[in-house]
Structure 1
Amino acid sequence: MEGRIDLAHQPAFRLGALEVRPALRQLARDDGSEEVLEPRVMQVLVALARADGAIVSRDDLTRSCWEGRVVGEDAINRVVSRLRRAAEGIGQGSFRIETITKVGYRLLREGQAEAALVAAPDSPLARAHAEVHRLRLDRRAMLSGAGLAAVTVGGGLFAWRRFVASDPALTDKPPADVAPLMIQAQMAMTQGTVEGGNQAIGLLRRVVSLRPDYADGWGLLALSYSAAAVGRPQQFEADMRARATEARRRALALDPGNAYARAADGLGKPVLGNWTAAERGLRASLASHPHNDMLTSSLAGVMLGVGRCAEAANLLDGIWKRIPPNPGLAYTHVQTLWAAGRPDEADKAMDDAVALFPTHFAVWFTRFYLLMYTGRAREAIALGENRETRPTGIPEWNFEQVLIVARALLSRTDGDIQAAVTASFEGARRGAGFAENGILFLSALGRLDEAFAVADAYYFARGFDPGELRFSAEQGTYTRRNARRTHMLFLPPTAAMRADPRFLKLADVLGLTRYWREMGVRPDYQATG
């Protein structure tokens, strides 16, 4: 690795449609658009680019970009996250940054990603080649993976009244040269992360480049762009939706009944306040396509959001047995079993999820919360304090925040509880996902006034506005104000809120009581007392 990077003396270079101008700290597209990067971010981009696809360790980066100073993981993670946003935004797929766990990073130019994967015999893409005949790219598995990521991560689904003219449960084997790319794209989508979404888009762009007459390639690309429009910063929404519309048009021109394209058409229509239409649309579609796992997982998401947790768990039980596991399905299955009052099964599903996806951020936090809320706060604290098993890309203060709550639930001292209340409000002001957690934390601590105050802020921006960013800027996921979630209102930690008269008032304003009345049902907590 060369020495310190002096931007003033670095020549300009190209990354696909981008010209990188280090001395000016500019990224310039061929269409005339430009973006200026922070000095450190540009230094890291130069370091990764001049490695020409080789892995650059964190130590290499500190030597060349931080003059050898000792810097924390958060500083490097922040810079890499900023580069990924640039790759997603102005870069539009011209490059991507790949994390090599416990080693470092490498920059892959457009078109290099697939070649790099193929070159390694034990790479995910090579393994996908070996498995393609076994999996036969079952559309049920692909659709349920993408759909569940949208339910659990992207922020709510929609009524599927216009979904599929033909049964997407039927196997439709893609052309052999793009089948592994399709499988890898589906695997990336189920990660439920910005990086995973970017990888899926890059892979699918390669698919349609190789096979412009392949409808499913265009359809799944449309679905990926639609998901990005829902879960990314608002300034990217119009561009992502335009790309989704064009990819969907291409898919439907080739196959008027293309399942992915029709799914993309509905993605982004929030279910908040529209549960009746969502459920009726899903059940009508399932009557015609009873084995479609994406529809089933979408219905499970609706059921969890309206307090029908037992039914949601039953729906996910069937999917878990049928399709290859993915992180979104794994942690949602755990959460839903727990909400349905099946704790032993939730523990078993949690063990399975950790064995399969030990460092996925959502799996890790689901495990932490399950321990913390089920009388095992000491185990949760041990998990949180073990830096070796923590997921990457999460700021240190985030771990400390949840540890403060776990310590309060363990000790129950006034001082620890007050510290947890303070941390919960500080978190809720940082982002929508932290506000969701704050509602759960405060209710579990018995601080119901504060729990309802955070709920007011989250749903109605009363008192303060958590905004649309879910967690840290490093993670880069968003929840629109018209797509706020309700599932946490029916989890075990919010039982004290449900027993409070204020809960029904909240449910009424959100439209939940109207849904229960229109559908002639009661949520589980009312049925069981």
Structure 2
Amino acid sequence: MIETLQVDLAHEPEFTLGRLCVSPTRRELMRDDGMREVTEHRVMQVLIVLAQARGDVITRDELVQACWNGRAVTDDAINRVISRLRKLAGGIGRGSFEISTVMKIGYRLIGSEAPGGFGDLTSAHVERRIPSGDVGRTLSGGTEIEATNAGGPVNRRGVVLGGAASFLALASGGPLLYRNLHHPAVPPEVQSLMAQARTMMFQANFDGLNQAAGLYRQVVALAPNYADGWGALAFTYSYSAHFRGREEGEALRSRARAAAARAMQFDARNGLAQAALAIIDPWHGNWRVSESMLRKALLHNPDNEVIANVQARILRMIGRYREAFDVLQEKQPRTLQPVTYASLITTLWGLGELEEMERYIERAASLYPSSFELWFQRFDIYLFIGRVDAAIAMLKNPEGRPSVSGAVLDYNVDVARAFESRAPQDIDRAMKVWSAQAADGSGGAQLAIQFAAALGRIGEAFVLADAFYFSRGFVVPDARFSGSSNYHLPDERETEFLFQPQTRAMRTDARFNRLTGMLGLERYWRESGIQPDFRTDQAHA
């Protein structure tokens, strides 16, 4: 077995592979003819491990240890990454490398015979498996390998410093050095405001976004040359615009563009400013541009969970939950805020990882028991997974639920009764109540579609979806709920629930392709060349 250490892209230097220059920190492959391609974090990790093996076989267990931190992962997760690597090998990497499967053992990378096939892997790549007889060997660039004892492992920190230093010297315009040169120190007062604003942004509600914007405005007033302050303000405006009326949304987008321009005046690679511009247009029809720009933003701010969360949201909207989970896992901070919990729970639900999902649900409930969004997310999921008793217990516990009106409780009691009994008369009653909610606001319509699908009323689900997305049959008001200042305009309405377990019956119906075609999703999948999870699952079944 080849010794494999966990791969940290932030500390992996560039190397060549046939005609390719591989940049782990940017997750980028650049061919000698100028063609470039950015790949996923996990795909880059696996490519590095296979390249470091220099043609030796790497087992699946070794890949899990090095690239998934030893966590339990499904075969599908590994297969998906290998499939993406093979796609790269047949595209930008044609003639530079191939991925070979060694049956019942693992994988090996076959490099080209061209100059640079494996020849320019730098010291950090060689140190993991250097033979004892090579102690003291000088590598390209003049870096000398030293070991603490003959035959023992080379000290990682000592070796990586040489590779990292040469990388920074070569990439003087790269994100790490650039940010060190262009981000001035800010006074403690500004740091405190930034921390408060970040907390408010992560509250998973619109009031939190409003408060965050106010705090960021104070930041830029106190530190007018602070790129991160302007970038965060731009992102807050841009994200908030998706939940406002048309006129107010356009005003927020205008402010976002101005704030992003200020941020990039001081730091041309400011990640939050780039993220703000990535999501500045309505969701529908702009998924491909948003996804591409967000990947670039994460390259320049690799530890920013704000950007990671919105990228994961885009991926869920287009049915790519596996990639969304990879993004969230890579950027998960030690202490999770409500929006991160909500995002992880939604993603795990979409993947059908029920045990892990329920662990996050319980943690979120213990930390944020009064969060409106988290409470109702938990209630709805309990209905969908058959834990109706738990959902009803939530309704009956006034101390453990957020403040809601009696009417809200009543129509949630109706739907809980329908899920519990599955009796036609109870389902009829629940759908009558929720059809009325659909006519009252976009939030009610979104839930009504899901309840109809989960309760076996597929025809009603498609009727409601036509109204929700296209105003056919009846017009669904833009306000999320009656009297709400939180809006969902037709080109901003959620699509991620279309790919979750509760709507599975819709996806097996011929009408689903018509729906996704009219939404522009079919065009996106065709042009991007990447199909949603549910179709790749069907292909593998």
TM-score by length of 2: 0.62
Cα distance, 1:296 vs structure 2:
3.5
Matched residue SS, 2:188:
coil
Counterpart in 2 of 1:499? 508
Match of 1:505, as an amino acid?
Answer: R
Counterpart in 1 of 2:470? 460
Cα distance, 1:426 vs structure 2:
0.8
Q: Tell me how many residue pairs correspond in the alignment.
A: 363
Match of 1:500, as an amino acid?
Answer: D
Counterpart in 1 of 2:489? 480
Change (3 A) 1:266 1:286: closer
Question: Distance between the aligned counterparts of 1:496 and 1:262, measured in 2?
Answer: 38
Counterpart in 1 of 2:326? 314
The answer to whether the aligner puts 1:519 opposite 2:528 as a matched pair is yes
The answer to whether the aligner puts 1:329 opposite 2:314 as a matched pair is no
For structure 2, the residue ranges without an aligned partner over 5 or more in a row are 1-172
Question: Distance between the aligned counterparts of 1:225 and 1:523, measured in 2?
Answer: 30
For structure 1, the residue ranges without an aligned partner over 5 or more in a row are 1-163
Matched residue SS, 1:272:
coil
CA contact (8 A) 1:165 1:259 kept: no
Cα distance, 1:504 vs structure 2:
1.5
Change (3 A) 1:169 1:187: farther
Counterpart in 2 of 1:343? 354
Change (3 A) 1:390 1:309: same
Question: Distance between the aligned counterparts of 2:176 and 2:258, measured in 1?
Answer: 23
The answer to whether the aligner puts 1:489 opposite 2:498 as a matched pair is yes
Cα distance, 1:257 vs structure 2:
3.9
Counterpart in 1 of 2:278? 266
Cα distance, 1:468 vs structure 2:
1.7
The answer to whether the aligner puts 1:508 opposite 2:520 as a matched pair is no
Question: Distance between the aligned counterparts of 2:284 and 2:270, measured in 1?
Answer: 27
Change (3 A) 1:517 1:253: closer
Matched residue SS, 1:497:
helix
Change (3 A) 1:331 1:199: same
Matched residue SS, 1:430:
coil
CA contact (8 A) 2:194 2:219 kept: yes
CA contact (8 A) 1:306 1:512 kept: yes
Cα distance, 1:412 vs structure 2:
1.3
The answer to whether the aligner puts 1:352 opposite 2:356 as a matched pair is no
Change (3 A) 1:405 1:511: same
Cα distance, 1:513 vs structure 2:
2.3
Question: Distance between the aligned counterparts of 2:390 and 2:296, measured in 1?
Answer: 45
Change (3 A) 1:364 1:525: same
1:407 to 408, 417, 434: 417
The equivalences for 1:138-149 within 5 A come to none
1:222 to 225, 234, 242: 234
Matched residue SS, 2:331:
helix
Counterpart in 1 of 2:458? 448
Cα distance, 1:286 vs structure 2:
4.9
The answer to whether the aligner puts 1:199 opposite 2:211 as a matched pair is yes
Change (3 A) 1:472 1:352: farther
Q: Greater Rg, structure 1 or structure 2? A: 2
Q: Report percent identity of matched pairs.
A: 38
CA contact (8 A) 2:274 2:294 kept: no
Counterpart in 2 of 1:418? 428
2:390 to 379, 390, 407: 379
Counterpart in 1 of 2:150? none
Change (3 A) 1:167 1:298: farther
Change (3 A) 1:246 1:500: closer
Question: Distance between the aligned counterparts of 1:282 and 1:222, measured in 2?
Answer: 14
Question: How well do the aligned residues superpose, as a CA RMSD in angstroms?
Answer: 2.7
Counterpart in 1 of 2:220? 208
Cα distance, 1:354 vs structure 2:
1.1
Cα distance, 1:243 vs structure 2:
3.6
Counterpart in 1 of 2:377? 366
Q: Alpha-carbon deviations, 1:97-155, whole Å to 9, x = none?
A: xxxxxxxxxxxxxxxxxxxxxxxxxxxxxxxxxxxxxxxxxxxxxxxxxxxxxxxxxxx
Question: Distance between the aligned counterparts of 2:520 and 2:223, measured in 1?
Answer: 46
Match of 1:491, as an amino acid?
Answer: Q
Q: Alpha-carbon deviations, 1:59-100, whole Å to 9, x = none?
A: xxxxxxxxxxxxxxxxxxxxxxxxxxxxxxxxxxxxxxxxxx
The equivalences for 1:125-204 within 5 A come to 166=175, 174-204=186-216
TM-score by length of 1: 0.63
